[in-house]
Amino acid sequence: MTRREMRDHCFKMLFGVGFYPAEETAVQTEQYFCSPVEEDTAEDGTVEILHQVDIKEPDRTFLTGRVEAMAEKASELDERLNAVAKGWRTRRMGRVELAILRQALYEMLYDSEVPEKVAINEAVELAKKYGGKDSPAFINGILAKLVTAE
């Protein structure tokens, strides 16, 4: 599985656990692996797979650990985001944007294998895929402020 695919699954899991109390994070991450295949029919009539969880055990373990670590650090991550997001406290942000920002900031702070520029670029790509039309610029702006603030 590529890093981009891992990041995509990680985002979906982090987004999902955001709807439940912190003590249910482990249960919700396990539930993710039981989700059904989701597909859609494109305009040209072809069937497009939107979501399919076919993940081997080492990747499942990595994803579960990663999401649980991010969920544990959510308040710290939110504090840092609130410090630079003038007029946009995390409680006002859309859940998609907040999950993307948390994931990117976690990578920037705690994953030495991911350069800051890569974390930002991947976050912007997730925002293009899952967020609204203004999400990529919003995500890029917040993360850029975090880089210059340090």
Q: Structure pTM?
A: 0.85
Cα–Cα distance, 136 to 111 (Å, whole number):
22
91-127 pLDDT tens trace: 899 999 999 999 999 999 999 999 999 999 999 999 9
**Greatest alpha-carbon span in the chain:** 49
Predicted pLDDT of residue 12? 92
CA dihedral 7, 11, 17, 22 (to 10 degrees): 70
Average pLDDT, the chain: 89
What percentage of the chain exceeds 70 in pLDDT? 97
Domains, the chain, ordered by start: 3-149 (1.10.940.10)
Q: What is the tens place of the pLDDT at every residue in 129-144?
A: 999 999 999 999 999 9
Structural tokens at position 29 = 């991450």
Encode pLDDT of 49-76 as tens digits: 766 777 888 998 999 999 999 999 999 9
Please count the other Cβ atoms lying within 10 Å of the Cβ belonging to residue 128.
12
Neighbours of 94 (CB within 10 A): 14
Model confidence band, residue 150 (pLDDT cutoffs 50, 70, 90): low
Kindly indicate the confidence band of residue 149, based on its pLDDT and cuts at 50, 70 and 90. Answer: low
Percent of the chain's residues with pLDDT above 90? 61
Q: How many CA atoms lie within 13 A of 1 on its CB side?
A: 19
Identify how many contiguous H helices and E strands the chain contains and give both numbers.
Answer: 7, 2
Q: Judge whether residue 7 has pLDDT over 90.
A: yes
What burial class does residue 9 get, using C-beta atoms within 10 Å of its C-beta: 0-12 exposed, 13-18 middle, 19+ buried?
Answer: buried
> Could you tell me where the beta strands, DSSP code E, fall in the chain?
38-41, 47-51
Q: Which of these, 51, 128, 68, 129, lies nearest to 102 by C-alpha position?
A: 68
Per residue in 9-28, pLDDT (tens digit) is: 999 999 988 877 777 777 77
